[in-house]
Amino acid sequence: MNLRFYLLRRIALIIPTLIGLSILTFSIARLVPGDPVGLAAGPQATEEIKEALRREFGFDQPLPIQYVTYMTGLFRGDWGESLYTRRDVLGDLRTFWPATLELTTVAVIIATLLGVPAGVISAMYRNRMPDHVARVLSLFFVSFPAFWLAMIFQTWFGRDLGMFPINKRLPVLVAPPATTTGLFLIDSLIQLDFETFLVSLKHIFIPSLVLSFSAFASITRITRASMVEALEKDFVRMERAIGIPYRVIIFKYVLRNAFIATITVISLNFGWLMAGAILIETIFDWPGLGLYAVHASLSLDFQPIMGIAILYGIVFSIVNILTDIVYGILDPRIRYG
C-alpha cells in the first residue's frame, strides 16, 4: 500500500533485470561468429594491428573477465567506445537518443489521442457503420508497410501540398534550442522560443504520424474490445436503470474500466515503436538512435550494441513501472506490495 516503498523496490529491481539483460546481450554479441576487430580494422590490416586492437579493447581476455570489466565501467559511467568512430558510447547515446525518444513519444501520443476515441466510437456503434469504418481503417493501417506510407506522405504533404517539411528535425538554418533534455519540443518551450517549437512540431508531425499508425490500430482494437466487454457489465444496466445518461456512463464509468487494458497496450507499443523507429528514421533522415543501432549491429561494434541494449532495458523498466502506477490510479483494487 505504501507507494513510496513500492516505487523504491521496483526501481531497485531494475538492477537485477539489467544484469540479466547484459549477460544475455553480452553473450549473444560475443558468441556470434565473425570477428569484430577484423571487420573494424579492414581487410588490409596486418595481424599485429589486429592484435593491438584486440588488446586495447580487452578481447584477448577470457569472456567472464571481459564482462566484469565492462560492467564495472558501466556503473562508473564509462560505457566504452566504438571500435570504428572511437567515440564515447554514452556521448553518442546522449546525442542520438533524444531524437528517437521524442519521435516515439509523439507517435504514442498521437496513436492514443486517435485510437482511444476511435475504439470508443467503435464499441458504441458496434456492428454498425462507424464500427466498420474504424475496423477497416485500423486493419488498413496495421497492414500497410510503414515505409511505403511514409514515402506516400512525404510526396503528398511535403512535395505536392508543401504543408510539411519532408526530413530532419529542424531546417538547416535554424539552430536547435539550448539542450536541456535534448527533446526539441520541450527545450524550445523551456526557452520560450515558440517559433522553434512550431517549426520542430511541423518537422516531427509526419514521421510520428506514420510511426503511430500500427500503434493506432492496436490501441483502437483493444479499446473497442475492452469497451464492448465493459458495456456488458451489470453496473452499466444499473446505471442506466436509475437514469444516469448514457453519455456519462460511457465516458466516465465505462471508459475507465476499459482503459486498464488500453494502458497495457500503450506501454507495449511505446517499446515496439522505439525499436521500430529505424525505418521511419531512415526515410525522414531523422538523426535518431535507429540508424546508429543498425550500423552497430551490422558491424558487430560491441560497445554500442551493449550500450543500446542497456539503455532500452532501462527505458522498458521505467515504462513498466509507470504503467503499474497508472494501473493503481485507475483501479483501487490493485494494491502495491
Partner 1 sequence: MLMADLLNIEDLHLEFHTYDGVAKVLAGVDLRMQRGDVLGLVGETGCGKSMTALSVPRLIPMPPGKITQGRVTFAGEDILSKSESEMETFRASHLGMIFQDPVTNLNPLFTIREQLVDSVLYQQARGQKVPGRWKGFMPSVRQLRAEAHERAVELMRLTGIPDGDKRIFEYPHQFSGGMRQRVLIAMALAGDPDLLIADEPTTALDVTIQAQILRLIRSLVKQLGLTVLLITHNLGVVARSCERVAVMYSGRVVEESPVRELFKNPKHPYTRGLINAVPQKDVSRGGLIGIPGMIPNLIDPPAGCRFHPRCEQVMDVCRRQVPGATPVGAEHKASCFLYPEDA
Query: Any contact of residue 42 with partner 1 (CB under 8 A)?
Result: no
Q: Is residue 156 a contact residue for partner 1 (CB under 8 A)? A: no
Q: What is the spatial distance between Cα 90 and Cα 37, in angstroms, rounded to a whole number?
A: 21
The distance of closest approach from Cβ of residue 333 to partner 1 in the complex, given in angstroms and rounded to an integer, is 5
b/e code 66-104 from CB counts within 10 Å (16+ = b): bbeebbeebeeeebbbbbeeeebbbebbebbbbbbbbbb
| Interacting positions 318-337 with partner 1 (CB under 8 A) | 330-333
Q: By C-beta, is 140 or 246 nearer to partner 1?
A: 246
Contacts (Cβ under 8 Å, ≥6 apart) of 225: 261
Residue 81 phi, psi (nearest 5):
-135, 160
Given a contact cutoff of 8 angstroms between Cβ atoms, the answer to whether 122 and 134 are in contact is yes
Backbone angles phi, psi at 46, to 5 degrees: -80, 165
**48 binds partner 1, rule: CB under 8 A:** no
User: Are 276 and 147 spatial neighbours (Cβ–Cβ below 8 Å)?
Assistant: no
Establish if 3 lies at the interface with partner 1 (CB under 8 A): no
SS3 337: coil
Confirm if 324 and 11 have CB atoms less than 8 A apart. no
Residue 237 interacts with partner 1 (CB under 8 A)?
A: yes
User: Which residue's CB is nearer to partner 1, number 94 or number 240?
Assistant: 240
Spatial distance between the Cα atoms of 131 and 63, rounded to a whole number of angstroms: 56
Residue in 240, 285, 318, 322 binding partner 1, rule: CB under 8 A = 240
- Closer by beta carbon to partner 1, 5 or else 235: 235
- Type of residue numbered 310: I
DSSP 242: T
The residue among 46 and 127 lying less far from partner 1, judged by its C-beta, is 127
Answer for the pair 116, 219: CB distance below 8 angstroms, yes or no. Answer: yes
Give the nearer residue to partner 1 in terms of CB position, either 187 or 239.
239
Q: Based on the shown chain and the rule CB under 8 A, indicate whether residue 246 belongs to the binding site for partner 1.
A: yes
From residue 250 to residue 289, the character string flagging contacts with partner 1 as x (rule: CB under 8 A) and all else as - is --xx--xx--------------------------------
- From 24-32, 144-152, 183-191, 242-250, give the range in contact with partner 1 by CB under 8 A: 242-250
Interface residue with partner 1, options 145, 195, 234, 337 (CB under 8 A): 234
Question: According to CB under 8 A, which one of 129, 175, 241, 298 is a site residue for partner 1?
Answer: 241
Residue 243 makes contact with partner 1 by CB under 8 A: yes
For residue 23, the minimal CB distance to partner 1 (Å) is: 40
Residues lying near partner 1 in the complex (CB under 8 A): 233-235, 237-246, 248, 252-253, 256-257, 330-333
